[in-house]
Amino acid sequence: MTERFFLGLDFGGTKLAVGLVDGADGQVLARAQQPTPPAGADASIDAVVAMAQRVWLAADVEPGRVAGAGISFGGPVDAAHGVVLLSHHAPGWEHMPLTRVLGERLGLPTCLDNDANVQALGEARCGAGRGARVVLYLTVSTGIGGGIVVDGRIYRGAHGLAGEIGHTIVQPNGPVCTCGKRGCLESVAAGPAIARAAARALVEAPGQGAILRELLTRDREAEERANRGEEGRGEERHGEYLQAVAERPEKGVALRQRAAAGEPLTAALVFEAARAGDALANRVVDEAIGWLAIGIANAVNVVDPDIVVLGGGVSRAGERLFSPLRAAIAGMCAPADPAAVRLEPAALGDDVGIVGAASLFG
């Protein structure tokens, strides 16, 4: 059989990405990306079409061997009809027949799914889940999305809503989630939830979290230097900062106020402080991992996957996340052999959207 290639088109809330992907093995021959234009749907579509044309040229593949364009959309879609329902990030997407529009612009067959399903498919076919029959995928970043792939195909459920693990309830009467319910996994374990919990802890415990406070200061100062046109972060001497935070309580106050506003704190910073030995950050991280374990274990007990693949920004925290998370999940799952529940980080990195989208034709 002649080798076939597919365009993978990834419409994210902050980033648009396009790649030309080898249908046989998911290798990306050429890629392009840019920030999502704030103007809305038409500007994003124009940008993606232009990137697709550049990528196609760059990959130097004959037109006839590109067999289709798969589309990942960061928001609710009607996959069966190839229609975007709406975007939570930009105007103009309501009921957009995106497969038809892009099919006409690119002259290719097209198909579409939401980003979590597409990422799940990409990881199942070409990433960490390769070879597994049932893959449960979670992306933990600003939200928590999920997807289920069975025998190489996305399991969509009755209404295209399967895999909504982020909105399973793990803490009854917990914090209010973006969806309006209380105690959803997303409300206690996504990136912003970890940052909020750390900010609250810093405010409530003025004497604690020295390393986290220091990282925050370093971050802010690096940003200020960058704004002044100086060099970026560079290496800071931790001891000095600890000293400064300890000696200048007024600095602590400002930090606590900024932390309370939630702005400068990120989950990545909290994990960094935890790895550096900050007790407060470690408590916050451990609590989020506890919730994540319940949410994942509950889904595992329903879906019984061969492997759980964890992607998204928070999953980049590495072993400080994965090691305790594996242990906690093993204690909450049915299989007699805890090794039966594998938990692995996503393997495709930033390419997951374009590889997954290209896989929609497989």
Q: What is the distance between the alpha carbons of residues 167 and 285, in angstroms, rounded to a whole number?
A: 20
Q: Which residues contact 104 (CB under 8 A, 6 or more apart)?
A: none
Q: How far is the CB of 304 from a second copy (least distance, A)?
A: 2
Q: How far is the CB of 276 from a second copy (least distance, A)?
A: 28
Q: Looking at 140, 165, 273, 284, which residue binds a second copy (CB under 8 A)? A: 165
Phi, psi at 309, each rounded to 5°: -110, 130
Q: How far is the CB of 303 from a second copy (least distance, A)?
A: 6
Phi, psi at 128, each rounded to 5°: -65, -20
State yes or no: residue 162 binds a second copy (CB under 8 A).
yes
Q: Looking at 175, 276, 298, 361, which residue binds a second copy (CB under 8 A)? A: 298
Q: Is residue 265 a contact partner of residue 259, using CB atoms and an 8 Å limit?
A: yes
> For a second copy, which is the closer residue by CB, 277 or 335?
335
> For a second copy, which is the closer residue by CB, 1 or 158?
158
Q: Choose one: 51-59, 160-168, 210-218, 222-230; the region binding a second copy (CB under 8 A).
A: 160-168
State yes or no: residue 148 binds a second copy (CB under 8 A).
yes
Q: Choose one: 27-35, 109-117, 119-127, 302-310; the region binding a second copy (CB under 8 A).
A: 302-310
Rounded to the nearest 10°, the torsion over CA 70, 130, 190, 329 is 150
State yes or no: residue 78 binds a second copy (CB under 8 A).
no
State yes or no: residue 95 binds a second copy (CB under 8 A).
no
End-to-end CA distance of the chain: 14
CB-facing half-sphere around the CA of 256: CA atoms within 13 A: 18
- Which DSSP string corresponds to 202-244? HHH-TTS-HHHHHHHHHHHHHHHHHHTT--------HHHHHHH
State yes or no: residue 160 binds a second copy (CB under 8 A).
yes
How many residues bind to a second copy according to rule CB under 8 A?
41
> For a second copy, which is the closer residue by CB, 57 or 161?
161
State yes or no: residue 145 binds a second copy (CB under 8 A).
no
Q: What is the distance between the alpha carbons of residues 316 and 312, in angstroms, rounded to a whole number?
A: 7
State yes or no: residue 129 binds a second copy (CB under 8 A).
no
> For a second copy, which is the closer residue by CB, 176 or 261?
176
Q: What is the distance between the alpha carbons of residues 68 and 270, in angstroms, rounded to a whole number?
A: 42
Q: What is the distance between the alpha carbons of residues 306 and 334, in angstroms, rounded to a whole number?
A: 13
Q: Looking at 4, 31, 125, 167, which residue binds a second copy (CB under 8 A)? A: 167
Site string for a second copy, 170-209 (x = CB under 8 A): xxx------x-x----------------------------
> For a second copy, which is the closer residue by CB, 19 or 295?
295
What residues from 322 to 351 belong to the interface with a second copy (CB under 8 A)?
A: 331-332, 334-335, 340
Q: Choose one: 12-20, 91-99, 162-170, 208-216; the region binding a second copy (CB under 8 A).
A: 162-170
Residue with tokens 């001891």: 239
Q: Is residue 355 a contact partner of residue 120, using CB atoms and an 8 Å limit?
A: no
Q: Is residue 287 a contact partner of residue 325, using CB atoms and an 8 Å limit?
A: no
State yes or no: residue 81 binds a second copy (CB under 8 A).
no
- The H-or-E segment that residue 308 falls in is strand 307-311
- The H-or-E segment that residue 342 falls in is strand 342-345
Which residues pair with residue 140 across a beta bridge? 144
> For a second copy, which is the closer residue by CB, 160 or 209?
160
- Token readout for 341 is 């529940």
> For a second copy, which is the closer residue by CB, 134 or 242?
134
CA distances from 256 to 88, 163, 176, 196 (A): 30, 37, 23, 12
Alpha carbon 231 to its chain centroid, in Å, reads 29
Q: How far is the CB of 176 from a second copy (least distance, A)?
A: 13
Q: Where does this chain bind a second copy (CB under 8 A)? A: 132-134, 146, 148, 150, 155-165, 167-172, 179, 181, 290, 294, 297-299, 301-306, 331-332, 334-335, 340
